A and B are shown apart, each in its own frame.
Chain A
């Protein structure tokens, strides 16, 4: 392991400042092809170690219950946790600033070159890879949860998967049905 990596790791153990929040959320957004959450998990949990696997899952779970895109809510929550109001603004601007500009550039390019077959092939290949990235994230967040609470968690994960992925039930309805049931089980089987 190089000295640079070790230095980065010891720096990551400290709580991030405003600039760190802005910079690293911007770096997440810059590479986040085909969905931001897996890239955010990689950065926040594996690279920077600002959150443990469990903290990441708990924060994301709460974000799903609040209006707005999960990743934007997550950036606001993480920024607020470390640096209060200014921190949430820094992380929020970090996650959205660059994509706002990039998407407009993409829009302008697409209106000129969108009909080229190469572009279509590239987009399809990237979306296949993106699906794999999200699959890996599902595995990563599920692993510690299933180790910790296998009996309580597994049936809920399967039921939600069947409802959303196979039966295609509307997301909000699954949310308001599954959450109380799951919280009830968690209360009944509390440690």
Chain B
């Protein structure tokens, strides 16, 4: 059966990608694209780019691009298989590590490791803010949108969803 073969290929591909996804799903996007477009010929490069844009635009983790790839290849069943394969291995690893970690986290050596990892993580988050802003802010209005959202989220208790709603309206009416 062709469909069973497609589902198996999805499962194997995403099980492997799952264990390579250190530092988040974005780290494996290039490899995912290579597999889907060049190796498996599931779709064209521009189809993959469109799926990635949809995953970015929809609320929720960007890793949802995996769900869309599965859907494109084998419908709803494909979406479920791909998502489960992508999440399963990292789920097991994370669960096991945190069960152990939470037992020891107040030990001096654990505190040392946490104190060491924390600034690295802050650096990563700051970097992704910079890179996202660089891609999105190509005129004064988008720059102001970025700055306004940052200011509201940092200094006020106003729900930033209002800023997002305002931004979307500005975009739709053609100001942005």
Contact = CB atoms under 8 A, between A and B. Distances in A.
B75 to A, nearest CB: 10
B60 A165 contact: no
B126 A161 contact: yes
B24 interface: yes
B60 A132 contact: no
A118 B161 CA distance: 20
A92 B91 contact: yes
Interface in B122-147: 122-133, 135-137, 142-143, 145-147
Nearest to B163: A129
A129 B164 CA distance: 6
B160 to A, nearest CB: 6
A122 B172 contact: yes
Interface string A161-174: 10111000001100
- Name the 9 nearest CB pairs between A and B, nearest first: A99-B60, A68-B90, A160-B123, A132-B149, A183-B116, A125-B171, A136-B153, A61-B117, A164-B127
Contact of A159 (B20, B114, B123, B152): B123
Contacts, number: 353
Given A46-B157, A179-B120, 9 more contacts: A42-B153, A62-B117, A76-B94, A107-B71, A121-B172, A127-B135, A128-B146, A133-B160, A152-B119
A66 B97 contact: yes
A190 B115 CA distance: 9
B171 A122 contact: yes
A90 interface: no
B7 interface: no
Interface of A: 29-38, 42, 46, 57-58, 60-73, 76-77, 80-81, 85, 88, 92, 95-96, 98-100, 102-104, 106-107, 110, 114, 117-119, 121-142, 145, 149, 152-154, 156-161, 163-165, 171-172, 175, 178-179, 182-187, 190
B61 A67 contact: no
Contact of B127 (A71, A161, A190): A161
B145 A123 contact: no
Nearest to A130: B132
Contacts of B147: 132
Interface residues of B, number: 97
B115 A57 contact: no
A29 B170 contact: no
26 contacts: A32-B61, A35-B62, A35-B132, A36-B61, A57-B121, A58-B117, A60-B121, A64-B23, A66-B22, A67-B90, A67-B93, A103-B60, A121-B171, A122-B168, A124-B136, A125-B142, A129-B164, A131-B149, A135-B133, A137-B153, A153-B118, A164-B127, A165-B127, A186-B112, A186-B113, A190-B111
B19 interface: yes
A134 B163 contact: no
B145 A88 contact: no
Nearest to B60: A99
Contacts of B129: 131, 134-135, 137-138
A32 B59 contact: yes
